Amino acid sequence: MADGYSFVVVANRLPVDRTTDEHGETQWTRSPGGLVSALEPIVRSSGGAWVGWTGAPDDDTGPVQIDGIHLRPVPLSAEDVDRYYEGQSNSTVWPLFHDLVEQPVYRRDWRQAYEEVNRRFAHAAADVAAEGASVWVHDYQLLLVPAMLRRLRPDLRIGFFLHIPFPPVELFMQLPRRAELLRGLLGADLVGFQRPLAAQNFLQLTDRLLGLRPSGDSVVYEDRTVVARAFPISIDITEIDRLAASPEVQEAAGRLRSELGGDRRMLLGVDRLDYTKGIEQRVEAFGELLSEGAVSSDEVVLVQVATPSRMRVAQYQQLRERVEREVGRINGEFGEVGTMPVHYLFQNRSREELVALYLATDVMLVTPLRDGMNLVAKEFVAARRDALGALVLSEFTGAAAELDEAFLTNPHDVEDLKRAILAALASPPADRTTRMRTMRARIQSHDVDQWAREFLDALGVPVHQ
Ligand code: ADQ
């Protein structure tokens, strides 16, 4: 269509949150997060469109133009949310792609809803894209969209980026209708992953399931070349640096420190409350260190901030109960009036507050059992302009490949987690500073804006900003 948009982003969510003001008027505010801040300027400068769900079930909002971006909502009924989003996306694909750290649930009605909703997204994208436009599809909720879109619009250039890990061949083989999902991705010209191993897994599968012959980083499918490559995502370094330099944020960090008890060393975890993030293992390790007397609650405090996430999914509710029970047990056993060993906040926090927490902490604990990248680790490093603070980082995060001067750990092994926490607490300041400087140098040369440009460059999309 001649009057469509030349660049289109397709993601489960639109880059805005809708609120209603005191006069009952609808207001849209930009959602927080690196992906939105990286893509929004590109979409805006190219006069582009963004296709996604508003986040509210049964919402029939029509297209809107906000800050130079055409937003095209895809409606989801409450039942779609249940089956496509909470079901197939978050109870089947999510656990399977995270190496089965929870058991995936396989249901035919969820798969069917997933296919229907993916088709709806593909039609919406086909509808807004101009002749020869470039379309960038995101993440595990939309694995079928590239092929559906190609069928509707063979003239388009289609890119896909997976934010989560892509599993090894033997795990992917568990998925019902696995070949169809693979063909879904093969509808793209470029399939991007966080890590090179994920791209290799994908290419191997094209051989195993479809008998294709991948060569190097590409494979020929239906007379087209599909390239699969790693594009490790990053963060908005300028934003974190600006916040970390702000006197208000620094004061807030100072206040936090004194409120937590002056000279106690602070351990910090910041995550969505998700079973992939290793929150339980981290709390358990800390509890054992207390009970063995390796640390004492006079000397060390753990602050865990957990954002409520997917709370309608049973596995997430159960996780919340287990974490809260364990925190309660540790505080009951090792706390004193006024000095609790664990401060647990089941809350969303503003960017300012997060950065103040990063600045206040001695040891940051990022211990996922599996994680595509993990932006919290990178945000912590970017915030530490003082080059102080230690990072305990799981080997099973994508970030570990870039941040290997962290205190690396295997969180599946609680003994190893305890060892890493103690090593980070005991490391001399000069050692921590050397490690932090090296990590900062590494991430500073690659921020999220560059990540987006590299992907779009490989897709052949001109980016003017
Ligand atoms: P997530 O699983 O959500 O992302 P992560 O990469 O850590 O994980 O990003 C979380 C973001 O939410 C960070 O920017 C963090 O600051 C913010 N956040 C976390 N807890 C918060 C809280 N309590 N309050 C406010 N903000 C909070 C998925 C993949 C990752 C991949 C990213 C990007 O699972 O592996 O790194 O996408 O591709």
The question of ipTM being above 0.90 is answered as yes
For a mutational test of ligand 1's pocket, the pick from 94, 101, 268, 272, i.e. the residue with the most ligand atoms closer than 8 A to its C-beta, is: 272
Mean per-residue pLDDT over the chain, rounded: 94
Does 317 map to a domain? yes
If you search the block for the tokens 């800390």, which residue do you land on?
A: 286
The rounded Cα 450 to chain-centroid distance in angstroms is 17
Out of 123, 163, 412, 446, pick the active-site residue: 163
Segments in 307-447 forming alpha helices (H): 314-334, 351-360, 375-383, 414-426, 429-444
**Rounded to whole angstroms, how far apart are CA atoms 68 and 66?**
5
Please report the pLDDT score of residue 465 as a whole number. Answer: 57
pLDDT tens for each residue of 449-464? 899 999 999 999 877 6
Looking at residue 31, what DSSP letter applies? P
Q: Ligand 1, residue 306: give the atom nearest the CA.
A: 23
- pLDDT > 90 in the chain, percent: 85
For residue 303, the CA-to-ligand 1 centroid distance in Å is 17
**Rounded to whole angstroms, how far apart are CA atoms 370 and 361?**
24
For residue 22, the CA-to-ligand 1 centroid distance in Å is 31
* Sequence-separated contacts (24+) of 343-347 with Cβ below 8 Å: 343/260, 343/301, 343/302, 343/303, 343/304, 344/304, 344/306, 345/303, 345/304, 345/305, 345/306, 346/273, 346/306, 346/308, 346/320, 347/305, 347/306, 347/307, 347/308
**DSSP character string of 374-414:** -HHHHHHHHH-TT---EEEEETTBGGGGT-TTSEEE-TTSH
Domain region containing 24: 5-233+449-459
Within this chain, do residues 201 and 283 fall inside the same structural domain, yes or no? no
**Rounded to whole angstroms, how far apart are CA atoms 190 and 206?**
14
Q: Contact 198/156 with Cβ under 8 angstroms?
A: no
Under the banding of pLDDT at 50, 70 and 90, the label for residue 232 is very high
Q: Contact 165/124 with Cβ under 8 angstroms?
A: no
pLDDT tens for each residue of 122-140? 999 999 999 999 999 999 9
Within this chain, do residues 270 and 222 fall inside the same structural domain, yes or no? no
**Rounded to whole angstroms, how far apart are CA atoms 417 and 287?**
12
Does 153 map to a domain? yes
Q: Contact 157/125 with Cβ under 8 angstroms?
A: no
Within this chain, do residues 64 and 167 fall inside the same structural domain, yes or no? yes
For residue 95, the CA-to-ligand 1 centroid distance in Å is 17
For residue 44, the CA-to-ligand 1 centroid distance in Å is 24
Within this chain, do residues 258 and 221 fall inside the same structural domain, yes or no? no
Can you tell me whether residue 79 is helix, strand or coil? Answer: helix
What's the number of domains the chain is made of?
2
Does 67 map to a domain? yes
**Rounded to whole angstroms, how far apart are CA atoms 201 and 172?**
9
Within this chain, do residues 388 and 438 fall inside the same structural domain, yes or no? yes
User: Measuring from each residue's beta carbon to the nearest atom of ligand 1, which residues come in under 6 Å?
Assistant: 33-34, 163-164, 233, 270-272, 305, 307, 348-349, 354, 371-376, 379
Within this chain, do residues 193 and 252 fall inside the same structural domain, yes or no? no
**Rounded to whole angstroms, how far apart are CA atoms 457 and 42?**
12
Any idea what the CATH number is for the domain that residue 114 is in? 3.40.50.2000
Instruction: Output the residue whose Cα is nearest ligand 1's atom 38.
Output: 163
**Rounded to whole angstroms, how far apart are CA atoms 157 and 132?**
7
Q: Is 412 a catalytic residue?
A: no
End-to-end, the C-alpha distance of the chain in Å comes to 25
Within this chain, do residues 265 and 412 fall inside the same structural domain, yes or no? yes
Does 464 map to a domain? no
Please report the pLDDT score of residue 30 as a whole number. Answer: 78
Please report the pLDDT score of residue 1 as a whole number. Answer: 46
Q: Look at residue 67 and tell me whether its pLDDT is greater than 90.
A: no
pLDDT tens for each residue of 360-402? 999 999 999 999 999 999 999 999 999 999 999 999 999 999 9
Out of 189, 274, 362, 371, pick the active-site residue: 371
Sheet-wide strand order for 69-73? 64-66, 69-73, 49-53, 5-13, 129-138, 157-161, 190-193, 224-230, 218-221
Please report the pLDDT score of residue 40 as a whole number. Answer: 84
Q: Is 23 a catalytic residue?
A: no
Within this chain, do residues 387 and 400 fall inside the same structural domain, yes or no? yes
pTM: 0.96
Q: Contact 165/372 with Cβ under 8 angstroms?
A: yes
If you search the block for the tokens 């990540």, which residue do you land on?
A: 451
For residue 32, the CA-to-ligand 1 centroid distance in Å is 10
Does 465 map to a domain? no
Q: Look at residue 145 and tell me whether its pLDDT is greater than 70.
A: yes
For a mutational test of ligand 1's pocket, the pick from 194, 236, 375, i.e. the residue with the most ligand atoms closer than 8 A to its C-beta, is: 375
Does 192 map to a domain? yes
Within this chain, do residues 87 and 176 fall inside the same structural domain, yes or no? yes
pLDDT tens for each residue of 157-193? 999 999 999 999 999 999 999 999 999 999 999 999 9
Please report the pLDDT score of residue 45 as a whole number. Answer: 82
Segments in 173-223 forming alpha helices (H): 178-186, 196-210
CA atoms within 13 A on the CB side of 198: 26
